[in-house]
Chain A
């Protein structure tokens, strides 16, 4: 069907699909959480913030700016030694997840910071006037108040991580990107490339639709 030899490609496709989902979801979970913490720290330590701290802010800000512009394919190689130390190997799916999570957490931290900045300072002032501690405000107010835009930001990030995960193949991480290049492009089997691309498009569309729906609920419009 579709000019694809399902006998051989079928199992490979299923495996690649699983690898992509695995890489992207673990990286999003870990990176999303780390990015949330990092972004909240950026937001609260900035001037006029709840935990205003120039030194912490400047250091974090510098590190985020340092890591973020590095193209993912280079980051993969650049932090190889760290990956080896943390994951125990520099090749394979797990070895892709680590740099993917790192890249995601730095990008998410900016998204989180930018969305928290849009919270009306008056709302935080009201909570302070009630005697709420900075920690309570951070834990119970910041995320709920910015939830709608945060969901959209995470949706955007998820898609960026799917994009980045396509280069996993170069260190033996597999995934749909690898399938498209190795079995499609390099073997002149265009239908396989098309299959991988369509699958990625479908994943991205589904996530976007879901993200939009959740954000709409959070914003109640």
Chain B
């Protein structure tokens, strides 16, 4: 028997077989997903294949735009610095309204930008599916939990460039221990006990359920000048997936902050919130301010509602809107004044900052699904500045890139 005869044997016998009957349980497995599986709209059918490439182009354009903004703000600041220097060298004690206006502009229009880049290596240690099966069935899965234990090792170089010519380079290394669990709501799939036991399969991430991830991050930050600081910043990421379209995202976290701001008339560099520092000299004396240090911890609770378009597609655009709640704990400020050539150190503590829920967050982005898991996310967020983030992950051992950038108007 030659090859053609062998092929013909199989083609004749099983080339066009058709199963008799219909398996109701197989239908029930996909029926819940179908109402959300909107047939692709015309625009998606036309542009769908270009969405990925389009996203990259948009990201590159945004990077270019951010770069331009950074450059133009630096240019603007150089002008301001030059004018302030001129004011100071001229009549330092008698300020005109124009001089004050310059100072006010500085306070109001301070902009800063972050351009973080992280290379991320994630070793996924275990994923343990647990299903509870009632006695009278074999395959019903009324409860499904996945416990993931993993560790993230991140190396990030973050460039924080404020609109002054000062640039802080933060060498940021973080190790995260991640534990996450997924609970999927009951499935109604039933089959007779005579069926062979089914292979455990991972539930579709898009199914309704609760997903909780806990992170404990330790960050070592090296600030320009050689000073190194270590922060622990735990957070809990919870996503309540109500259905494939709607979910509630809550990510409470704790963020210790400690940074220094150097301010002087030669090189002004401070955010608008300095205006509210306790014990700050009046605005007209602002140019005497030499150095401010602030230290404190924050509890951050971003809460948002997410809506995914085209939940059945590989690329799923989404919008997200919500509020950022925050509370400051034991904020401390230290500032230093220089007057008549004498440096005078002052200290003030503001105590706790009460809960605030007025910071709006809104985001648009897209998620890519592969093997029923999120492969990557990219989003543009207003919170209250604008940031762009992209994460690409591959399981089980994740080697990915986290690219983010922000532009924040104080």
- Are these two chains actual partners, yes or no? no
